Structure 1
Amino acid sequence: MKRKEFLTSGLFAAGIAMLPSTVSANNDRVKRSFRFAFISDIHVKPGVVPEAGMAKAIQHVQNLKPKVDFIVNGGDSIMDALAATKESAQIQWDLFHKIMEKENSLPVYPCIGNHDIYGWFQKTPDSTDPLYGKNWAVKELKMTDRYYHFQKGKWDFIVLDSTQLNPAGGYVGKIDEEQLVWLKNKLAEIPKDRFIVIVSHIPILSICAGLFFNKTEANGDLMIKRNLMHSDFLAIKALFNQYPNIKTCLSGHVHLQDEVHYLGIKYYCNGAICGNWWSGAYQEFDPAYAVFEFFDDGTCSREMVNYG
């Protein structure tokens, strides 16, 4: 490489390295709209480690400086209701509420996770039970519906229900037809000068969805299964392309962390409070939550917090 080319390359590399601090400096001059914690995949269950771990995580959020304005719960609040008995599911929900009531004083905006859904994987499920499926989670999380919308500052939050029952077995990441109609109508009615953030338990777009199993297939393919990322991503992408005020998508589910910038939208996958289901780190990622700052110019920043 010639000296001139080396200098040019070096300056370019230095510019890239300086970019995050430059962005941060610019955001310091932009009015911050609000700050919140995104907690996901708590998977609480009876036991010393999960109970103390959840309590410590919520305490850590409460003691943040500067303080956060609210919490977004990205789903999988309890270990599992899919295959649980009614008695077991009730114990898990009671434990979740006990810890939240003791440790949390912030407003919480919840999202349904796949493990919050009751009865789908039971050997002989009773689909006539009023609590079957997502009804129980909606009740326990005090949600008005399984998907909903709220506003903070100059931002509109759209919280999706991203887990659908797969008739062939298991579940699939996607939104159903009823929800899709609602989403299209909601996006159309939000003024163009407001910014939009989409919350889903299962990532809409994530490289970590392909890294969950920490291996490639026998033929070398990197597999992204339909229960790890939205199988309807291409349709959602086409819809999102119509709305340049959609700026951010937030998710959990895969217990890993990534940040994907694609077609003007930042997709954040935000790890897990429980890490490796209360057995330490999952792959390279310790138990953690995310702290977001959203700004009045449509930008945002994320800090991942390992709460110890």
Structure 2
Amino acid sequence: MKKNLLILFLLVSSIAIYSQQVATGYVFDDANRNGKKERREAGIANVAVSNGSDVVLTDDKGYYSIAVDEGNTLFVIKPSGYMTPVDEHFIPIFYYHHKPEGSPDSFTYKGVPPTGKLPKSINFPLYKQGESNNFTVVIFGDPQPYSIQDLDYFTRKIVHDVKKTDKTVFGISLGDIVGDNLDLLPIYKERMRHLQLPWYNVMGNHDMNYDAPSDELSDESFELNFGSANYAFNYGDAHFIILDNILYPDPRDGKGYWGGYREDQLLFLENNLKHVPHDKLIVLSQHIQMKDDSGNSYRLEDRQRVFDLLKDYENVLIMSAHTHLQQQIEYTEVNGWKGHKPLHEYNVGTTSGDWYSGKHNENGLPDATMRDGTPQGYAFLNINGNSYDVNYQVAGRESDYQMNIYAPRVVPHKGRTTSQIVVNFFMGARGDKVEYRIGDEEWRTMRYTPGIDPNYWVKLMEWDFTEELLPGRRPSNPVTSSHLWSGTIRLDLPPGEHTIEVRATDRYGNTHFGKRDYTILE
């Protein structure tokens, strides 16, 4: 009996040893930028390397050793002051896939080809670069093209609209890179090359391999195009973390997806943060917003583990997209957050807007205003040391266009009206100060009144009452906007044209202005 047990133990052990190997190599300063470690090129000490759950640091010669299983992706966590190589499309190359047999060949969309045996040494080249602590990151939410036509809209209205400065150093797309057709991923990369910026990508629920039998295999095409779906990197005094927060198939019933993480992802987050000082700014980018206290759309125990891992950091920003709305979300003790100040999640407005719907302009581009009245656009994340602020950029407009003002065009002099002034402050949230005045009167505080944006209703009514077909596609029905304020319109001023002025102060202390005219008639 003991002999049989010994044989069984040896058999199981041999299988485990065969499936799990040890990867070794160097993280090195690639002085000549040829991607190969040469004898004169020094290793870089104390750089983190991960297998997707474990995280190790290189020794004083830049050497690392880490366990690796079949299907793992190894990656280096870029330290500040260095850059990884990028490919011809400016996608950072920071990873090595260990998939001896490759991705399943039965999938509709191809994944990683067979990589063969584990190499004797897996080296990660880095390039020295100067990094200011004051820099800007371009943020794209949900490009989500379903066709080449959509990609053309995205390219012309969004990509070509981005105006870089000398502070603009890289970009991040927050998932739903495409809309289910994963053959569009390489074309997306070609279009993004125009920006000439290193570009990091988050996986979205429309970027998955839907024929995957398990969540571990749902990102095979994403991995082919972008590397690991879970990774991290440093820039200046900020530490960036990218996580795939979509569980597919949904572990509750095997249908659809659920917001959350696998255990290996949470271990990666935990092990990674062990090497990140608490005074660093943490920027966590993922696709699905975490705003769900019911657990229906987000697994709450996963959210709580993330909250607990981040609670000791002075400054944390979470960025998400997915909703095709724009929201400023705060988590407090009520939601399980135990940090010393509320946790901010910026749910970013999307580059596809309302899925490229709406009336076409003179250039053949769709209006694509989102259901909460936020115009189609993208964001600039400005980082200074371990603090940040965000500017929203409406596509095709000047940077100071930060609000829409609704008001009647004409009102009766000293008469009656049920109409109001309604302001949609795109980056606003409950607690922000929004004021207005008409003419030379004193500034008056507006009431925070989340609801349906009347300007969006006007767009819909044009579609519903037209007697001719309009170019484009009717927008989606409206939803409650979390950034509306209202005020009373004055009818007692002298007849004639009057100007409504609005000033709004955002969560960062920046003040924005808007104007609209109306006429009082006798």
Answer whether TM exceeds 0.5 for this pair.
yes
Matching residue of 1:16: none
Could you tell me which of 117, 134, 145 is aligned with 2:219? 134
More moved, 259-268 vs 270-279: 259-268
Matching residue of 2:237: 154
SS of corresponding position for 1:302: strand
Question: For structure 2, which runs of at least 5 residues remain unmatched after alignment?
Answer: 1-131, 333-340, 358-367, 397-522
TM-score in terms of structure 1 length: 0.71
Distance 2:283 2:297 in 1: 23
Could you tell me which of 142, 145, 153 is aligned with 1:52? 153
Matching residue of 1:199: 285
Matching residue of 1:109: 200
Distance 2:306 2:278 in 1: 19
Distance 1:276 1:109 in 2: 23
Shift in Å, 1:307: 0.7
Shift in Å, 1:32: 5.4
Could you tell me which of 234, 238, 253 is aligned with 2:322? 253
Q: Contact (CA 8 Å) 2:186, 2:225: kept in 1 or not?
A: no
Matching residue of 1:278: 356
Shift in Å, 1:139: 1.2
Distance 2:302 2:146 in 1: 32
Matching residue of 2:38: none
Matching residue of 1:23: none
Larger Rg: 2
Distance 1:148 1:157 in 2: 9
1:291 maps to 2:361:
no
SS of corresponding position for 1:38: strand
Sort the Cα spacing of 1:231 and 1:306 in 2 relative to 1 into closer, same or farther, 3 A.
farther
Percent identity between matched residues is 23
1:238 maps to 2:304:
no
Q: Contact (CA 8 Å) 2:243, 2:285: kept in 1 or not?
A: yes
Q: Contact (CA 8 Å) 2:279, 2:315: kept in 1 or not?
A: no
1:182 maps to 2:268:
yes
Question: For structure 1, which runs of at least 5 residues remain unmatched after alignment?
Answer: 1-30, 82-88, 120-124, 211-222
Distance 1:197 1:233 in 2: 16
Q: Contact (CA 8 Å) 1:44, 1:54: kept in 2 or not?
A: no
Amino acid at match of 1:95: I
SS of corresponding position for 2:206: helix
Distance 1:151 1:94 in 2: 26
Larger strand fraction of residues: 2
Shift in Å, 1:127: 4.5
Amino acid at match of 1:287: Q
Q: How does 1:7-46 map to 2 (within 5 A)?
A: 33-46=134-147
Matching residue of 1:75: 175
How large is the Cα RMSD of the aligned pairs? 2.6
Shift in Å, 1:230: 6.7
Distance 2:222 2:172 in 1: 15
Matching residue of 1:269: 347
Shift in Å, 1:155: 0.7
SS of corresponding position for 1:114: coil
Larger helix fraction of residues: 1
TM-score in terms of structure 2 length: 0.43
Q: Contact (CA 8 Å) 1:50, 1:274: kept in 2 or not?
A: no
Distance 1:114 1:202 in 2: 9
Q: Contact (CA 8 Å) 1:54, 1:273: kept in 2 or not?
A: no
Matching residue of 1:226: 297
The alignment of Structure 1 onto Structure 2 pairs a total of residues equal to: 241
